[in-house]
Amino acid sequence: MSLQGHKKRIIVALIALPLLIFIIVKLPPYFFLGLLTLICAIGMWEFLKIYKTPNFLIFTGVLFSVILFLLNCFYYKFALHYYGLAFVAITTLRLIFKKDPKNSLYEISPVLIGILYIPALLSFHWFLRIDGWQWIIYLYAVVWIADSFAYYIGKGFGNRKLYPEVSPKKTWAGAYGSVIGGTLASLISGYFLLSIPFYKLVITGLLIGIISIFGDLVESMFKRDAGVKDSSLLFPEHGGLLDKIDSMLFGGILLYFSMKFM
């Protein structure tokens, strides 16, 4: 990446991070829920656009993703019911609005996968916030530092490719960097934010560092399948929103279930 590219990344980070921390820490929790709802809508839109989903299904998918996200947040015990109803609604709409059955599975599948991928995983960020803003700051700090370590260590020392079929630039050195960065970030942020024993912070940081790699690779798998480099051009030199939250989606659900055993 060019020097100009690095400057753009830093500018975006300097604007976004303080604003995000302010919303999480200083404002009432429902402001964060509103932000998550917006992220859900944009992320779903990006996901469906990269797969060139028909416009009426993009609108349907975004609408259902927001509804399902909010229902999951407030009435999570009935989540299976919501997804069953969503399947019936989406397949029925495809049947009504496009009579040609050709490519019907190809067009419907991104919508169904998208609502499992984005609103379902994003709802765990709200569950963490309910237990305290410290959990969200901890999660984002660990994932962000794990990703940063992965990027810079991989760029500086990476030779052996990690998974070239999915992401040609990712290396084993970067993967080790993610694990190291996640563990260190867990120890530092956990010390200030959480009352958790040392060994649990080590294990949790290590696991988040690992799952962050898979979160990144899964999104890369989808993009490679769709034939695109970035999910969108929303952030200069950063790509789309999904490119920024892919690791956090996986990290959030892992931290939530890890928290239950802490």
All structural domains of the chain with their residue ranges = 3-259
DSSP assignments along 130-192, one per residue: HT-HHHHHHHHHHHHHHHHHHHHHHHHH--SEEETTTEEEEEHHHHHHHHHHHHHHHHHHHHH
In this prediction, residues 105-123 reach a mean pLDDT of 96
Which pLDDT value is given to residue 233?
A: 79
The stretch 235-241 carries a mean pLDDT of 74
As a whole number, mean pLDDT of residues 42-60 equals: 95
User: Across all residues in the chain, what is the average pLDDT?
Assistant: 92
**What is the spatial distance between Cα 92 and Cα 261, in angstroms, rounded to a whole number?**
41
Give pTM, 2 decimals. Answer: 0.93
pLDDT in tens, 1-35: 555 556 666 776 778 889 999 999 999 999 999 99
Chain segment 164-188, per-residue pLDDT in tens: 999 998 999 999 999 999 999 999 9
